[in-house]
Amino acid sequence: MLTRVLHTLVILLAMTTGTWAAVVEETDIDVRTREIAKTLRCTVCQTESVWESAAPLAQQMREAIRERVAQGQSAEEIRAYFHSRYGDYILMQPTAQGLNWLIWAGPFALLVLGGIFLYRALNRWVAQSPAPAPEPLSPVDDRSRDRLDRELHRTAPP
């Protein structure tokens, strides 16, 4: 029984060591490949980067990135290569050039325009609405009037 427990512990320890070794052994090439792959879009996926995707094309792209990193190419050179093949679509973050400015500035411009529109509309509504007339006082019947008089008379100073 004790032997079986020891064997299990040894196996578990070996598995832990293996996992730890895998983390430690990540090379500089692995790190740079990952950082570049995160900035490129998987062209056959929906909103996934080349790093995150399990698609065969994304796997091949990761390998292509790794090869270029190993050859000493910079991140910009590698991104430029993919951009020259697939255009702006390959970039997870589109460049702020040409019509792409619309993507960057569009939401803010719409927000400002919406704010101005809302401000002017509210101002107009306020100006057009007449000031509310004071509500007429409810009439006091004779019974209530008598009671009020009695109360006032009772509390009035002598």
* Positions in 99-128 near other proteins (CB under 8 A): 117, 121
Cβ closer to other proteins: 128 or 138?
128
- For the chain, the DSSP string reads -HHHHHHHHHHHHHHHHHHHHHHHT--HHHHHHHHHHHTBB-TTSSS-BTTT--SHHHHHHHHHHHHHHHTT--HHHHHHHHHHHHGGGGBSS--SSTTHHHHHHHHHHHHHHHHHHHHHHHHHHHHHSPPPPPPPPPPPPHHHHHHHHHHHHHHS--
- Applying CB under 8 A, which of residues 26, 30, 63, 77 lies at the interface with other proteins? 63
Minimum distance, C-beta of residue 120 to other proteins, in the bound complex (Å): 8
- Applying CB under 8 A, which of residues 26, 87, 118, 144 lies at the interface with other proteins? 87
Minimum distance, C-beta of residue 26 to other proteins, in the bound complex (Å): 22
| 14 near other proteins, rule: CB under 8 A | no
| 86 near other proteins, rule: CB under 8 A | yes
Tell me the window of 10-18, 30-38, 78-86, 127-135 that interacts with other proteins (CB under 8 A): 78-86
CA distance 116 to 65: 47
Residues lying near other proteins in the complex (CB under 8 A) are found at 43-44, 56-57, 60-61, 63-64, 82-87, 117, 121
